[in-house]
């Protein structure tokens, strides 16, 4: 026992201590807190008629989401104080193992709406893909940092990440072993494949986007980067050929192409969302005054909540929320570019890029710009596990910000 304690202490000391020094980035923290409050208010406004009609409790979704927000906020503050370097190897190994087990477990659970996305523990349910997304970020960040040869730790972070300005548009500077590339590619394919197997297409697309963005930030060679994109597309195509894409997915794609297809079926939810967005106008109908949330927009607590936001707050209100999302992403990138090391940089950028992709896809679905994929809007859509995991991820970003060379005020 004493030997184990000494080994743990030695490991902590080798990583720079248990707690991170310095203060968190108050700009990012303030934006996150504001977004969390706005998201809870809009969830209450969008869901109370639906919750009352179907659950006989108009505050059900709001109360559950507040519970998840409280847990996530406390965890975010706690993790922001920890030294993120402690999770370099542990996060990769434990995160990967646990995520794969949970994703396989979900495949054995009863189907919900034709999918195997959830694990049920009594009355509680959660989506393991929410855990897997962050586990993939931690794992790829560890690998891309550990095997990123020829980088001197004394150089500024800009040199570590980008090395030269033209590396953003040209060939990266450093060489990678084929072994490392293969490991990263296999990880992305495994995660994506398991999520597709559960008929969670939007989660698989998001997983693939996370992998592609981190490989790009890790300066992987251009030809292998392109090969990764082609491989990801091939995985989805093979899933389609193997029958993992359910009939309702194909109907949603048809409904997106043919606007007259099943107006009372596959097109119903999107059409009602478009009516809500259109009726919002410039200034909106006012908070709480949506009419389409009264059982017209199907499940307004999930992927179509943005349409209710636009109906009540109008174009200006929705634009301000999008700007707030953009500020969070921008601040995360600033923290990453100025981080203490590449591992921290990849975590910060991976988290905010995940947020950006989710927001873009959700709004694109609500505006009928892409087929309905069922992807949630971070901080707004109902889901305790998703909210808790998002706040945990930003706890890591705030931890990175403590040692990042940025102006905090």
Q: Which helix (H) or strand (E) holds 131?
A: helix 128-146
Residue 263 in this model has a pLDDT that exceeds 90: no
Higher model confidence: residue 152 or residue 302?
A: 302
| pLDDT single digits (tens) 59-105 | 999 999 999 999 999 999 999 999 998 888 888 889 889 999 998 99
At residue 262 the predicted structure's pLDDT band, cuts being 50, 70 and 90, is confident
Is the residue at 408 inside a domain?
no
Is the residue at 129 inside a domain?
yes
Is the residue at 398 inside a domain?
yes
Residue 176 in this model has a pLDDT that exceeds 90: no
**Residue 136 structural domain:** 21-403
pLDDT given for residue 182 in this prediction: 73
Query: What's the mean pLDDT in 136-145?
Result: 89
Average pLDDT of every residue of the chain? 81
pLDDT given for residue 322 in this prediction: 96
pLDDT given for residue 332 in this prediction: 94
| pLDDT single digits (tens) 279-309 | 989 999 999 899 999 988 888 888 889 999 9
Q: How far is CA 26 from the centre of its chain?
A: 22
CA distances from 363 to 32, 69, 91, 325 (A): 19, 22, 31, 12
Query: What's the mean pLDDT in 125-132?
Result: 87
Q: What 3-state DSSP class applies to 374?
A: coil
Q: What 3-state DSSP class applies to 351?
A: helix
At residue 244 the predicted structure's pLDDT band, cuts being 50, 70 and 90, is low
At residue 3 the predicted structure's pLDDT band, cuts being 50, 70 and 90, is low
| pLDDT single digits (tens) 4-39 | 566 567 667 566 677 778 889 999 999 999 999 999
Number of helices (H) and strands (E), helices first, in the chain?
Answer: 14, 2
pLDDT given for residue 165 in this prediction: 39
pLDDT given for residue 235 in this prediction: 65
| pLDDT single digits (tens) 193-206 | 888 877 777 788 88
Residue 150 in this model has a pLDDT that exceeds 50: no
Q: Nearest CA to 313 among 336, 341, 280?
A: 280
Residue 356 in this model has a pLDDT that exceeds 50: yes
Higher model confidence: residue 87 or residue 183?
A: 87
**Residues facing 121 on adjacent strands:** 124
Q: What 3-state DSSP class applies to 124?
A: strand
Total number of domains in the chain: 1
Is the residue at 3 inside a domain?
no
| Torsion of the alpha carbons at 247, 301, 390 and 318, rounded to the nearest 10 | 110
pLDDT given for residue 82 in this prediction: 92
pLDDT given for residue 6 in this prediction: 62
Residue 252 in this model has a pLDDT that exceeds 70: yes
Confidence (pTM): 0.86
What is the C-alpha to C-alpha distance for residues 129 and 385, in angstroms, rounded to an integer? Answer: 10
Token reading at 298: 């199907």
Q: Which helix (H) or strand (E) holds 119?
A: strand 119-121
What is the C-alpha to C-alpha distance for residues 203 and 195, in angstroms, rounded to an integer? Answer: 6
pLDDT above 70 as % of the chain: 79
pLDDT given for residue 224 in this prediction: 59
What is the C-alpha to C-alpha distance for residues 224 and 221, in angstroms, rounded to an integer? Answer: 5
pLDDT given for residue 152 in this prediction: 32
Is the residue at 273 inside a domain?
yes
Is the residue at 310 inside a domain?
yes
Is the residue at 358 inside a domain?
yes
Residue 337 in this model has a pLDDT that exceeds 50: yes
Residue 170 in this model has a pLDDT that exceeds 60: no
Is the residue at 203 inside a domain?
yes
Residue 43 in this model has a pLDDT that exceeds 70: yes
What is the C-alpha to C-alpha distance for residues 390 and 381, in angstroms, rounded to an integer? Answer: 12
Higher model confidence: residue 362 or residue 242?
A: 362
At residue 381 the predicted structure's pLDDT band, cuts being 50, 70 and 90, is very high
pLDDT given for residue 79 in this prediction: 95
């Amino acid at each position: 026992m004493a030997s184990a304690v000494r080994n743990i202490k030695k490991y902590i000391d080798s990583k720079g201590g248990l707690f991170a020094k310095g203060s968190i980035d108050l700009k990012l923290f303030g934006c996150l807190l504001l977004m969390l409050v706005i998201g809870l208010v809009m969830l209450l406004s969008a869901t109370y008629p639906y919750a009352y009609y179907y659950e006989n409790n108009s505050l059900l979704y709001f109360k559950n989401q507040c519970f998840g927000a409280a847990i996530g906020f406390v965890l975010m503050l706690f993790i922001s104080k920890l030294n993120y370097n402690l999770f370099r190897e542990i996060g990769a190994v434990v995160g990967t193992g646990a995520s794969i087990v949970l994703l396989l477990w979900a495949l054995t659970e009863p189907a919900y709406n034709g999918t195997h996305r959830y694990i049920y523990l009594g009355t509680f349910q959660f989506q393991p893909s929410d855990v897997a997304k962050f586990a993939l970020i931690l794992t790829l960040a560890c690998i891309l940092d550990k095997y990123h040869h020829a980088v001197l730790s004394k150089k500024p972070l800009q040199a570590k990440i980008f090395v030269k300005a033209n590396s953003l548009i040209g060939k990266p500077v450093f060489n990678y072993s084929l072994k490392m590339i293969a490991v990263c590619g296999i990880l992305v394919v495994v995660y994506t494949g398991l999520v597709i197997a559960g008929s969670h297409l939007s989660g698989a697309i998001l997983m693939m986007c996370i992998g592609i963005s981190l490989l790009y930030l890790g300066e992987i060679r251009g030809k292998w980067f392109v090969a990764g994109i082609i491989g990801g597309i091939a995985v989805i195509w093979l899933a389609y050929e193997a029958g993992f894409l359910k009939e309702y997915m194909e109907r949603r794609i048809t409904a997106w192409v043919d606007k007259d297809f099943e107006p009372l079926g596959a097109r119903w939810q999107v059409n009602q969302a478009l009516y809500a967005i259109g009726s919002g106008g410039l200034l909106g109908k006012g908070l709480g005054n949506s009419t389409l949330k009264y059982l017209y927009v199907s499940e307004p607590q999930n992927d179509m909540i943005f349409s209710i936001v636009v109906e009540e707050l109008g174009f200006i209100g929705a634009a301000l929320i999008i700007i707030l999302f953009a500020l969070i992403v921008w601040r995360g990138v600033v923290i990453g570019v100025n981080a203490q090391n590449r591992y921290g940089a990849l975590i910060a950028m991976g988290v905010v890029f995940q947020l950006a992709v989710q927001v873009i896809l959700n709004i694109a679905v609500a505006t009928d710009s892409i087929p309905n994929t069922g992807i949630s809007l971070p901080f707004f859509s109902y889901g305790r596990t998703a909210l808790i995991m998002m706040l945990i991820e930003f706890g890591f970003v705030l931890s990175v910000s403590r040692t990042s060379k940025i102006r905090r005020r």
